[in-house]
Amino acid sequence: MEIKVIQNELSKIDCDVIVAGLFEQPELNGSAAELNNALDGIISKYVIEKDKFEAKFGQTYILQTYDKIAASKVLLVGLGKEEELDIAKLRELGAKIAKKCDSTLKAKTVCLTPYGKGIEGISLYDATKAIVHGILIGAYKFDRYLGEKTSSIEVFEIAENNNPQEAENGAKTGQIIGEAVNIARDLINEPASVVTPEYLAETALQIEGLETKVMDEDEVGEMGMDAFLAVSYGSAEEPKFIHMKYTPDGTPKKKIAIIGKGLTFDSGGLDLKPPKSMRNMKTDMSGAAAVIGIMSKIRELKPNVEVHALIAATENMPGCAAYKPGDIIRALNGKTIEVDNTDAEGRLTLADAIAYAAKLDVDEIIDIATLTGACIVALGEEAAGIMGNNQELIDNLIKAGEKGAERFWQLPLYPEHATAIKSPVADIKNTGSTTGGGAMTAAAFLKEFTDNKNWAHIDIAGPAYLEKEMRGTPKGASGFTVASLIEYLIAQ
Ligand code: BES
Ligand code: ZN
Ligand code: ZN
């Protein structure tokens, strides 16, 4: 899809659908007033007065234009209450508009004015960025295996006459973010037979402008990442450790490591999952997909930070060489781990990736993982859990989440969580022995490998894959954390 910022009178814009936003208890101003005039007052007289269009958030109304203006149809969209409009709602509206224009109206060319500008605290840049980000999310389809494909929007125009440059900048960043999110969604939606550790490695190697190295099984063994390797033993797929590095042009303000859990399939291993729980476990590489999405676009975003992106990619399978409950393994940092449950495999792969990051002389380590079912019990699909050892880092990521229209909710790390992973035969074990609190005992486990470096852990088990539409993101892979981590990186 092409996105462009244009300057023109609304009545003269030739497109299939022109979109105008209206606040609740509609008082016509801005683009809606301009269109109303050009349409001889149809909007005020018929849509609002007679049809009682209330402009509640997300409500729509479609009008034919009968050649009174250049556009074929007008899509009126309710913006809800002015004081309630925020970045997340702007993104959601962008997504809903794209979906409506695409699936219902079968439009090829759409034009809208950046609604929401001028509202307290939201700049034209922010509004345009959020809307365009939403448009890309809403127009996304995973249809490469469908015989019959539906048509798609080809051009989306943003009409802005007063400050086209600011709109242009917002649209550009919004488009990059949306594309990064969709790269992640594609990787997650692909079946595990396609997206193997090898496939993730090849995808990483194809990203231009990064220094990328991929370590194979032997090299991972030589490094001493035996916790990661143990998880891979039951699988016919070779594990791959992926390290991508982005270096900014000037002196970097910071060095940041981002780590994505890269289980291309999690059967549970010998502690096999029941069918229902295994069904979507191709998505257990959503953290890795997020990292690849971000790194695919980082050269266009040019943040002033050095970024090391790490993925320990493997499957967790119950093959005859599989690691077993009761095994004791040694991680890269020398700590020994008793395997209490082979389905708590993500933390074993992350343990080595975090220990590897801690040796890289980075200022911050952020890991993103579909780590625990317990986090879904705690927060549902509506938010990711965030934990860590540095409150400032956690606060800044939560703030970046507000810009990226994603919710991160902090969960506590108490000394009891560290006690819960004590083992009688090894330094720690890979499950907690407390009743409940599984998201926190998993984080307490990861903390053991941070070497006290600033670290935040984001558990995306809930929002990574949606069972139903949420705030504009349709059912399926969401690409969660891509947008917010990009916001975090460019804010540095
Ligand atoms: N990949 C799962 C967590 C998960 C569950 C992600 C549902 C997305 C949706 C993880 O590897 C796992 O199986 N965790 C276990 C840990 C337990 C054995 C301590 C869990 O959460 O049940
Ligand atoms: Zn598991
Ligand atoms: Zn898993």
Are 77 and 22 contacting, i.e. CB atoms less than 8 angstroms apart?
Answer: yes
Sequence-distant (≥ 6) Cβ neighbours of residue 406 within 8 angstroms: 384, 463, 480, 481, 483, 484
Segments in 240-338 forming alpha helices (H): 275-278, 286-301
Closest residue to atom 8 of ligand 1, CA basis: 461
Q: Are strands 364-369 and 336-338 parallel, antiparallel or unpaired?
A: unpaired
Residue 147 DSSP code: S
Question: Given the DSSP bridges, would you call strands 305-316 and 336-338 parallel, antiparallel or unpaired?
Answer: unpaired
Q: Say which ligand is closest to the CA of 339.
A: 1
Separation of alpha carbons 157 and 155, rounded Å: 6
Record the pTM: 0.97
Residue 381 CB–ligand 1 contact under 6 Å = no
Which protein residue has the closest C-alpha to ligand 1 atom 7? Answer: 373
Answer whether 337's CB lies under 8 Å from 331's CB: yes
Q: Is the CB of 393 under 6 A from ligand 1?
A: no
Q: How far is the centre of ligand 3, averaged over its atoms, from the C-alpha of 323 (Å)? A: 15
Determine the distance from the C-alpha atom of residue 90 to the mean position of all C-alpha atoms in its chain, rounded to a whole number: 17
Assign residue 14 a region: left if phi > 0, alpha if psi is -120 to 50, beta otherwise?
beta
CB under 5 Å of ion ligand 3: residues: 263, 266, 284, 346
Nearest CA to 464 among 317, 291, 300?
291
286-301 vs 197-205: helix crossing angle, rounded to 10: 0
Q: Is 337 helix (H, G, I), strand (E, B) or coil?
A: strand
For ligand 1, whether the C-beta of 372 sits within 6 Å is yes
346 lines ligand 1 (CB under 6 A): yes
> Residue 488 is encoded by which pair of tokens?
């975090």
Report how far residue 423's alpha carbon sits from residue 184's, in angstroms, rounded to the nearest whole number: 37
**Of how many residues is the chain composed?**
492
Q: In whole angstroms, what is the distance from residue 106 CA to residue 104 CA?
A: 6
69 backbone dihedrals φ, ψ, rounded to 5°: -130, 170
Ordered structural domains, the chain, with CATH: 2-168 (3.40.220.10), 190-491 (3.40.630.10)
Label the pairing between strands 109-112 and 73-80: unpaired
Report the atom number in ligand 1 closest to the C-alpha of 374: 21
Q: How far is Cα 430 from Cα 290, in angstroms, rounded to an integer?
A: 25
Ligand 1 center–CA 413 separation, angstroms:
19
User: Considering 273, 330, 335, 399, which one is annotated as catalytic?
Assistant: 273
Mutate-to-test residue for ligand 1 from 282, 316, 343, 347, highest number of ligand atoms within 8 A of CB = 343
User: Which pLDDT tens digits describe the chain residue by residue (492 residues)?
Assistant: 999 999 999 999 999 999 999 998 767 877 888 999 999 999 999 999 999 999 999 999 999 999 999 999 999 999 999 889 999 999 999 999 999 999 999 999 999 987 765 677 799 999 999 999 999 999 999 999 999 988 899 999 999 999 999 999 999 999 999 999 999 999 999 999 999 999 999 999 999 999 999 999 999 999 999 999 999 999 999 999 999 999 999 999 999 999 999 999 999 999 999 999 999 999 999 999 999 999 999 999 999 999 999 999 999 999 999 999 999 999 999 999 999 999 999 999 999 999 999 999 999 999 999 999 999 999 999 999 999 999 999 999 999 999 999 999 999 999 999 999 999 999 999 999 888 999 999 999 999 999 999 999 999 999 999 999 999 999 999 999 999 999 999 999
Give catalytic status of residue 347 as yes or no: yes
Q: Which residue matches tokens 């080595």?
A: 352
For the record, the structure tokens of 484 come out as: 């917010």
Region at 47 (left for phi over 0; alpha for psi -120 to 50; beta for the rest): alpha
Which residues, listed in sequence order, are joined to residue 302 by a DSSP beta bridge? none
Q: Is 63 in the pocket of ligand 1 (CB under 6 A)?
A: no
Distance 344 CA to ligand 2 centre (A): 5
Contact criterion met (CB below 8 Å) for 124 and 166: yes
